[in-house]
A and B are shown apart, each in its own frame.
Chain A
Amino acid sequence: MPRPMDDAPYPPRTSMPSWPSQPGDLDIAATSYTLFSLGEADNAALRQWRRMLEDAGVPHDAVVVDAPYLADWIEDLPRTMVPLAAGRRVGWRIAAAGEEAAVLALAAAACETGLLDVELTLFVTDTRRIRVYCPHCKAHTLAAARPGSVVRCSGCALDLEVHPHLSLHTGMYLGTDRAARERRRVRNSHASEAAPEFQEALHG
């Protein structure tokens, strides 16, 4: 008999981020920091981190992006990250606060340049927007959505159902063709009337 289809992520929940409720302490053993404030309302986390680094005497610089410019900034990140990281030495850290979509995109770009998770401090102040990856056309879509939402793909215009499945490597959630689920349901209802070997074929 075919196994029942199961949409739950396995292992359970491991890919969903659990964001801290406070900006978090920075690593004062670092040789330098770049701070990012990404659509953060009053730059509160940025100011807190800056004080922390000034007290500890750790050199730092800051990038502040206001909310209206975030979408373009995220798209340009893979390119702008290269000159930002050029010439930096091991000992450099990144701390970022703000919109989830931007913080995740920055974390992905930082890992691409060679930083490790332990060299990043992330703080999300706003979870309204996320980026959704479409495996059908490989485009991604920035949208106000959460897992369970439906998002129209910016590449192929399919309606994507957003899954609780986040890729930290790309900073995007997985979305899949919502109609596929409906088609499967129809197919299953046909299959239940079919011979057992035909059921196997349908699910194989």
Chain B
Amino acid sequence: MADVFVVASIRDISPGVKEFAFRPGLGAALRPYAPGSHIVVETAGKANAYSLTGDGTTADGYRISVRRQGDGGGSAWLHDRLRPGDTVRLSQPRSVFAPVATAKHHLYVAAGIGVTPILSHVRAALRWNRSFEVVYGYSAAGAPHLEDLRSLARGWLFEAEGRAQLAEVLADRLRQQPVGTHAYACGPAGMMAGFRVVGGSLGWPEERLHVEHFAAPELEPGEPFTVRLASGRAVAVPSGTSALDALAEAGVVVPALCRQGVCGQCRVVVAAGTPEHRDLILTSREREANDCFYPCVSRAQTDELELEL
């Protein structure tokens, strides 16, 4: 999946945040992407996902902005080891946070380094002439890409310094949105939870509130269960093994990408039985329907799940 890219440039964005620009190496190609997409960067034995910050047309390469977190992780490796001219392996762009095509207006909400996919959305909105506005919360210690947003979203940027002010500005903007608006948030988990709670209390259905998850939560190994295929064949899913892996072992390969309940690629239709949904894709209404599940993370509440496979 991964191709070789060359670091074209590295520049400081704000304290602790650097931007890396990549150009394709031999045999690799830049691929246009939906705003809000991310790429997986292979760093010293690890793989980390970072949001692309461009408008999706890739005219100036792939660009990511990375905040250095801790000393042993991928971000430290990128900050400390990588130099212009070095090669690195990158996945194709993956889109799990795209704008809704039928939206009448877009409300983008960013906090801290969560600004990176929002920057991509704003640039794409300008390119495609979409109606939008931005709420950006930052701390006194650093506001990555604030100047970029100020010049891109002139007149439509609502800034907030610190959590209290962000909560206030966010509630105010959620209250003011015309019918047909979709809202998108990226930032710390606490901010995104607040975004959903406040939105819900102001009458926003969750179908209008979109969040970008940096990382899926750690999941319990879960109880064993059985999946039954359309052919009648039964496949046992032991505790600690995903249904996706158990199926693959039995020779039934379901196409999958993220393997953490985020991307939606591995969706399987459920004909009978009740899934235990552990993905980050379905809304609560869709969960209640119990007519599909994501075998990469989800399991079963019933002993058996009958699948249309």
Contact = CB atoms under 8 A, between A and B. Distances in A.
A67 interface: no
Given A90-B208, A118-B207, A29 B201 contact: yes
Interface of A: 27, 29-32, 85, 88-93, 113-116, 118-119
Contacts of B207: 116, 118
Interface in B160-206: 174-181, 200-205
B248 to A, nearest CB: 27
B129 interface: no
State the main secondary structure of chain A at its contact with B. Answer: loop
A114 B102 contact: yes
A39 B56 CA distance: 49
B103 interface: yes
A89 B178 contact: yes
B103 A114 contact: yes
Contact of B204 (A88, A91, A114, A115): A91
B104 interface: yes
Interface of B: 102-104, 174-181, 200-205, 207-208, 285
A114 B203 CA distance: 15
Nearest to B202: A91
Given A89-B177, A91-B202, 16 more contacts: A27-B205, A29-B203, A30-B203, A89-B179, A90-B174, A91-B203, A92-B179, A93-B203, A113-B179, A114-B103, A114-B181, A115-B180, A116-B205, A116-B207, A118-B205, A119-B205
A85 B200 contact: no
Nearest to B103: A114
A89 B176 contact: yes
Contacts of B203: 27, 29-32, 90-93
Nearest to B200: A29
A116 B285 CA distance: 14
A113 to B, nearest CB: 6
Given A116-B207, A118-B205, A89 B175 contact: yes
Contacts of B103: 114
A96 B208 CA distance: 22
A31 B205 CA distance: 11
Nearest to A30: B203
A126 to B, nearest CB: 28
B205 A114 contact: no
Nearest to B175: A89
Contacts of B181: 90, 114
Contact of A115 (B176, B177, B179, B201): B179
Contacts of B208: 90, 116
B200 A114 contact: no
Q: Which 3 A-B pairs have the closest CB atoms?
A: A114-B180, A91-B203, A31-B203
Nearest to B177: A90
A89 B102 CA distance: 16
Given A30-B203, A90-B204, A114-B102, A85 B179 contact: yes
A122 B307 CA distance: 32
Contacts of A93: 203
B285 A90 contact: no
A162 to B, nearest CB: 28
B142 to A, nearest CB: 32
A115 B207 CA distance: 11
21 contacts: A29-B200, A31-B202, A88-B179, A89-B175, A89-B176, A89-B177, A90-B178, A90-B179, A90-B203, A90-B204, A91-B203, A92-B203, A113-B104, A113-B180, A114-B103, A114-B104, A114-B181, A115-B179, A115-B180, A116-B207, A118-B207
Nearest to A28: B203
A22 to B, nearest CB: 18
Nearest to B285: A118
